[in-house]
Chains A and B, each alone.
Chain A
Amino acid sequence: MDINKQYSAQTWPDHPETATLEGKNKFVGFWLFLGGETVLFATLFATYLALKDKGPSGMEITASQLFELPLVFIMTMLLLTSSLTSVYAMFHMRSYNFRAMQAWMAVTVLLGAAFLGFEIYEFNHYVHEFGFTYGHSAFSSAFYTLVGTHGLHVAIGLGWFILLMIRNAKRGLNLYNASKFYTISLYWHFIDVVWVFIFTVVYLMGVVG
């Protein structure tokens, strides 16, 4: 396959992401990777649940003292919306509309960056207002490791999006990069899947007590 072969909307396959052998392999391989990621996050969630609200006796800070729902709600809406915009990007990828796909991916990146900004603000707030540093207690280490690992995934996702967009800016859509765009969108949805459990298990259940 010539990687720079040009297509038109009429010759573009219905499922460009799995049209090539490389695309098929990437697709299966990436889902396998996501299975592994699920296990990674499960261990972090399990550690968090076991150590929640625990600390050296006398200096516990509990989840219900710490968390504020409005901030978490904004972050949830940002990430959920970015999931939809990446679905739009994939719709345009399958419709062979490169510019629209790039535009929706740019919106996704902006929403993801806003999410990350709020997360940095949140951590900063906990450290400066509560003295809730990474080494403060068993609870703080478990919390920052879980939510921080998710934040790291968001940061990696943003970098991945930006690199793909820049690298393929002049190439346009073809079967060489279609599977790459599809893979990052799967990754981005997975980040949102993990966040659904973080806002439920960490924040909402933390506020409930």
Chain B
Amino acid sequence: MAHEVETRKKTQAEFEYAKRKREEEMRGQVATFALMIFLTLVAFTAVAADFSAYYVVPTILLLAAVQVGLQLYYFMHAKEKGHGTPIFFFYGGLLIAFTILITFVTIIWI
């Protein structure tokens, strides 16, 4: 490990600013969690309430997509700087995943 890492002592003001930023972010994470619980509850209730599958299936799929977005961008920090390349890789995987799914549910029949 030849790579040297520069470390620098933060001034008190910088330290407190960074701390406040982190705490603000953590409060946002807890709010995200509450929202995810809410989305899950809506999905389960929609199914338990026995509505027509025509309405329920698209709704719960949409709720799942929203929840995954929250998970990626907030819990996995993808909204932070420097995530361009990794997220590009991940969306590449997602594109292939989507193609496979479309193939199996529409073109291949058993």
> Which A residues contact B (CB, under 8 angstroms)?
1, 3, 5, 7-11, 13-15, 18-22, 27-28, 30-32, 34-39, 41-43, 45-47, 49-51, 54, 69, 73, 76-77, 80, 83-84, 87-88, 90-91, 94-95, 138, 175, 186, 189-190, 192-193, 196-197, 199-201, 204-205, 207-209
Let me know if B82 and A196 touch, CB within 8 A: no
Binary CB contact string for chain B from 69 to 80 against chain A (1 if under 8 A, 0 otherwise): 001100111001
With A14-B18, A21-B3, A80-B36 in contact, is A31–B86 under 8 Å at CB? yes
With a 10 A CB-CB cut-off, give which of B56, B85, B97 has the most chain A CB atoms.
B97
Query: Which residues of A are found within 8 Å of B3, using beta-carbon distances?
Result: 1, 20-22
Closest chain B residue to A3, Cβ basis: B1
Let me know if A80 and B86 touch, CB within 8 A: no
Interface residues of B in 75-96 (CB under 8 A from A): 75-77, 80, 82, 85-87, 89-94, 96
Nearest CB of chain B from residue A32's CB, rounded to whole Å: 5
A27 to B1, CA, bound (A): 17
With a 10 A CB-CB cut-off, give which of A21, A35, A54, A77 has the most chain B CB atoms.
A35
Query: Which residues of A are found within 8 Å of B80, using beta-carbon distances?
Result: 15
Let me know if A95 and B19 touch, CB within 8 A: yes
Let me know if B103 and A46 touch, CB within 8 A: yes
A10 to B15, CA, bound (A): 6
Let me know if A9 and B47 touch, CB within 8 A: no
Query: Which residues of A are found within 8 Å of B104, using beta-carbon distances?
Result: 46-47, 49-50
A18 to B25, CA, bound (A): 18
Let me know if A46 and B105 touch, CB within 8 A: yes
With A49-B101, A69-B44, A84-B33 in contact, is A205–B60 under 8 Å at CB? yes
With A1-B1, A91-B22 in contact, is A10–B96 under 8 Å at CB? no
Let me know if B26 and A37 touch, CB within 8 A: no
Query: Which residues of A are found within 8 Å of B105, using beta-carbon distances?
Result: 46, 49-50
Let me know if A35 and B100 touch, CB within 8 A: no
Let me know if A39 and B43 touch, CB within 8 A: no
Contact of B44 among A13, A47, A204 (CB under 8 A): A204
Let me know if B1 and A22 touch, CB within 8 A: yes
Let me know if A1 and B110 touch, CB within 8 A: no
Contact of A35 among B75, B94, B98 (CB under 8 A): B94
Query: Which residues of B are found within 8 Å of A84, using beta-carbon distances?
Result: 29-30, 33, 75
With a 10 A CB-CB cut-off, give which of B4, B36, B86 has the most chain A CB atoms.
B86
Query: Which residues of A are found within 8 Å of B63, using beta-carbon distances?
Result: 200
